[in-house]
Amino acid sequence: MESARADESARADGSRYSVAWPGWAAAVWGFVFAVPSFYWALGGAAGAESTVSPSLVRLAEERNAGFVAVLWLTGVLKVVGGLVGLALVRRRAWGRGMSCILQLLAWGAGVLLVWHGALFVGQGLLVEARAVELAPELRGVSRWYTYLWGPWFVAGGIAFLLAAWVHSGRLAEHRSARIAGVVGGCGALLLSVIALVAGLG
């Protein structure tokens, strides 16, 4: 009897971990990606010249106050994203208010990241196919955006979307939280399209 209970408990633990992995992945993504933001905000520049847009590298080297502030802000937002990922793996459901916030943030972040990364990859592939002209000296940086930064954003976005989806499965009684997730995802998509049309994305 005890052996059967132990086996059942082990299966339950394995099931929890297998279901929770998107949240853990989103958390790791957020925390790891915050490191370069803080590093560059503190004045570090190793690896930036060959992997990041020259205009951004220039702002970092000049210690442009506005750009440094943006680096700190993005670093903090990535840490918040990591905390959201951790919150999504909590075994017991949060209260309705917190669940709404988590769904809003997770779906919004997921859509934004997938969109942003897909733009990097799509534009980069057009450059590689010579369908879009790019200065020769920028082709190396473009490849980093195509094959590293773009896929990295997409991977993070998918992790957040999957984590939000798994979390929503535990919210049968929290219809408002699911609505918040829809609002977050659709709002992020709308903002992304507006930014693209305005030439900002």
Angle at 69 between CA 65 and CA 72, to 5 degrees: 140
In tens digits, the chain (201 residues) has pLDDT values of 444 444 444 344 444 545 789 999 999 999 999 999 999 999 887 777 777 888 888 888 888 999 999 999 999 999 999 999 999 998 666 778 898 999 999 999 999 999 999 999 999 999 988 888 888 878 888 899 999 999 999 999 999 999 999 988 877 667 788 889 999 999 999 988 888 887 665
Helix axes 150-168, 2-41, angle to 10 degrees: 140
| Alpha-carbon span 190 to 108, nearest angstrom | 10
| Alpha-carbon span 97 to 174, nearest angstrom | 9
Tokens of 189: 């998509």
Tokens of 129: 């196919």
Query: Which is it for the CA torsion 28, 87, 109, 45, positive or negative?
Result: negative
Can you give the pLDDT at residue 79?
A: 97
At 201 the three-state DSSP class reads coil
Report the candidate in 156, 187, 12 with the shortest Cα–Cα distance to residue 77.
Answer: 156
Can you give the pLDDT at residue 201?
A: 56
φ/ψ of 91, rounded to 5, equals -65, -45
Contact call for residues 73 and 40 (beta carbons, < 8 A): no
Task: Look at the pTM and tell me if it is higher than 0.75.
Answer: yes
Tokens of 143: 């490849």
| Alpha-carbon span 199 to 201, nearest angstrom | 6
